[in-house]
Amino acid sequence: MTYIPHTDKDRQEMLAVVGVDRLDDLYEAIPENVRFPDLNLPDPISEMEVTQELQALSEANLEVFHTSCFLGAGAYNHFIPSVVDHTLRRNEFYTAYTPYQPEISQGTLQATFEYQSLMAQLTGMDVSNASHYDGATALAEAVILALNHHRGKRNKIVISPAIHPHYRQVVRTYTQGMGLTITGDEKCETEPKDLVKMLDEDTALVTVQYPDFFGNITDLSALGEAAQASGALFCVVINPLALGMLVPPGDFGADIVVGDGQPLGISLSYGGPTVGIFTTKDKYVRKMAGRLVGETVDSRGQRGYVLTLTPREQHIRRDKATSNICTNQGLMALASAVYLSVMGKQGLRRVAELCYHKAHYAAERIDALKGFTLWNKHPFFHEFVIKCPRPVAEINERLLEWDILGGYDLGQEYPDLKDHMLVAVTEVIAKEEIDDLVAALEEVSND
């Protein structure tokens, strides 16, 4: 199946109009010695066959519906109301391109404006862009904004070790050609108050996660004030779902808030695509990378929306652009806008509280087990760290026998946290599943 509608007659007529005899004749500009390679690719198959093949392949995976998933670490198994995917399946949304022609793109534009509004208000900030690729790349863009804000005069980034390891790696990848000092994440126990001491006149940005990678939630006001005093920008990496119940980072004096929107109605899908949230204060709007939708009126006096402040962007500014980002994560931003709309004020708060209560019940019960200790010293949201009596990989392998997907092995990224498991509990986990986990852990530790 090729999705090509041409009949033999069409082809002949069209070739005649073009003035060549055969399709091959269209390629004479291509060097003959490399033209028409014989590719080693499979033969075509039908739609029926491909669905059978992929169904079989998908069944080679373990998935979270048939297991109790206690794995989080930046990707969470939440309930997604049916409305969300039904909206994403609207052909007019998913088969449109970037809304360059506003007269026939008001659906995408208004939905994006609503996404921007929802994100700004959820995070307690003035403005949001139309989104970045994911939380990690949004953090890298925050670093670049801070460097531009200081016009290259400040070259130090202070970064908490309790920011998702992948996000910290992405920041380092993005900035490897920029000659920066990135510090603060050398030891896993470094807390926000310890970062205060690292701020100096060379610091362009200080960034922490909230709730942090270990689940902790702490008051960030003091760090916000210290950042302001030192002239560094203050960026907070959030889990947007947690903001259903937590004080938004805007209240702590954040200059930039970034995060991954996956918890808001986006399926796990092996980690992507998701959506990168980026919100900031009005005063940084012209330095913010990424697409922006603004309100205006049309020639008939109707309220409408357009892409705005485009002179910042690469198709006009080229090498002087604020970023190379060309698109946003349109459809994923739409998913989170639909999710927040249908959840609403009461629903989002409720989901956040369900996560919170269930996680605390689980933590308390596991902490009571012999050999397992709760590591967190602060309040936490829906994730917590358990020091285990055996290697986490061994425990997780045993938990699979109970159809339980165990938590994240922190020793992979934090050598000091060998045998420490990061456990996530979301609203989809029932009390019985937590009780099963506790029973399983008890059995595993007694082996």
Partner 1 sequence: MTEPLIYELSSPGRKGVSLPAVDVPETTLPEGLVRVELPLPEVAENDVVRHFMRLSQLNYSVDTGFYPLGSCTMKYNPKVNEDMARLPGFALTHPLQDPDTAQGNLAMMYALQDWLMEIGGFAGVSLQPAAGAHGEMTGILIIRAYHHDRGDKGRNKILIPDSAHGTNPASTTMSGMDVIEIPSDARGNIDLDELKKHCDESVAGLMLTNPNTLGLFEEHVQEVIDLVHGCGGLIYGDGANMNALLGVVRPGDLGIDVLHYNLHKTFSTPHGGGGPGSGPVGVAEKLVDFLPDPVVGIVDEGDEDKPPLYGLITPVKSIGRVKAFHGHFGVILRAYTYMRMLGKSGLRAVSDYAVLNANYLLAKLRDTYKVPFDRICMHEFVAEGHWDDAPDIHALDIAKRLMDYGFHPPTNYFPLIVPEALMIEPTETESKESLDVFIEAMLAIAKEAREDPDTLKSAPHKTLFGRMDEVQAARQLVLCCRPSYLDKPDNK
Instruction: Kindly tell me which of 368 and 393 has the beta carbon lying closer to partner 1.
Output: 393
Show the tokens assigned to 417.
């946290």
Quote the DSSP letter at residue 62: -
Query: Which residue stretch of 165-173, 189-197, 198-206, 230-238 sits at the interface with partner 1 (rule: CB under 8 A)?
Result: 165-173
Instruction: Kindly tell me which of 229 and 430 has the beta carbon lying closer to partner 1.
Output: 430
Show the tokens assigned to 161.
């070790």
CA angle 171, 174, 180 (to 5 degrees): 75
- Is residue 235 within 8 Å of 253, Cβ to Cβ? no
Shortest spacing between CB 341 and partner 1, in angstroms: 5
Q: Which of residues 98-137 bind partner 1 (CB under 8 A)?
A: 98-108, 110-114, 116-118, 120-122, 126-128, 130-131, 133-137
Burial degree of 349 (CB within 10 A; 0-12, 13-18, 19+): middle
Shortest spacing between CB 62 and partner 1, in angstroms: 4
Among 195, 396, 423, 444, binds partner 1 (CB under 8 A): 396
Show the tokens assigned to 198.
């690292």
Shortest spacing between CB 113 and partner 1, in angstroms: 7
Query: Which residue stretch of 52-60, 183-191, 224-232, 438-446 sits at the interface with partner 1 (rule: CB under 8 A)?
Result: 52-60
Shortest spacing between CB 436 and partner 1, in angstroms: 14
Name residues whose C-beta falls within 8 Å of residue 146's C-beta, 6 or more positions apart in sequence: 154, 157, 204, 205, 232, 233, 235, 256
Shortest spacing between CB 420 and partner 1, in angstroms: 15
Among 186, 189, 263, 300, binds partner 1 (CB under 8 A): 300
Instruction: Kindly tell me which of 69 and 223 has the beta carbon lying closer to partner 1.
Output: 69
- Is residue 153 within 8 Å of 179, Cβ to Cβ? no
Show the tokens assigned to 363.
């933590």
- 150 binds partner 1 per the rule CB under 8 A: no
- Is residue 35 within 8 Å of 23, Cβ to Cβ? no
> Would you call 377 helix, strand, or coil by DSSP?
coil
Contact pattern for partner 1 over residues 255 through 294, marking x by CB under 8 A: -----x------xxxxxxx-----------x-----xxxx
Instruction: Kindly tell me which of 148 and 231 has the beta carbon lying closer to partner 1.
Output: 148
Instruction: Please spell the DSSP secondary structure of 167-199, one letter per residue.
Output: HHHHHHHHTTTTT-EEES-SSTT--HHHHHTT-
Shortest spacing between CB 293 and partner 1, in angstroms: 7
| In the block, residue with structure tokens 């998933």 | 69
Instruction: Kindly tell me which of 128 and 230 has the beta carbon lying closer to partner 1.
Output: 128
Instruction: Kindly tell me which of 267 and 445 has the beta carbon lying closer to partner 1.
Output: 267
- 96 binds partner 1 per the rule CB under 8 A: yes
- 398 binds partner 1 per the rule CB under 8 A: no
- Is residue 224 within 8 Å of 125, Cβ to Cβ? no
